Amino acid sequence: MKLVFEIARGDFTAAGKASSGIKKVLKQLLVDPKTIKRIVVAVYEAEVNVVAHSVGGTLTANISGNEITVVVQDYGPGISDIEQAMKVGFSTASRKVREMGFGAGMGLPNIKKNTDELTIQSQPGKGTMLVFSISI
């Protein structure tokens, strides 16, 4: 099963649509609630990162057999130092984003913590692609 969600720049009110939609499907598939929570946290963090740091993107979830694989592609400024971006508390969020309660530097660390596998490809000026998977 393939689910595709568009993520718009700066639309924090819509952040969470993908994670909610995926959660609904996983509940229908009778996936363990603890596993659903891990998936929802990772997907939500990825959504917020796209909303806060890019000019938009897509999130595609593939549910197959005993695994969910999520691909998040954004068209933002890219990440110049992925190792630094993975550190808890590191953030490049704007002041406006932080004033809204986002941009605490927990996004990528939370995604890593809640997934079984995570790869990040990024090019400054071209965007970022996250691919993560979780056994279900």
* Strands, sheet with 127-135, edge to edge from the N-terminal-most edge strand: 2-7, 57-64, 67-74, 127-135, 117-123
**Cβ distance 73 to 127 under 8 Å?**
yes
> Quick count: other Cβ atoms within 10 Å of Cβ 2?
8
Q: Which pTM does this prediction carry?
A: 0.90
| pLDDT for position 13 | 85
Span 6-11, mean pLDDT?
A: 91
Number of domains in the chain: 1
CATH, residue 107: 3.30.565.10
Q: In this model, does residue 9 exceed pLDDT 80? A: yes
**Cβ distance 36 to 23 under 8 Å?**
yes
Domain coverage including residue 9: 2-135
Quote the mean pLDDT of the chain: 91
| pLDDT for position 100 | 67
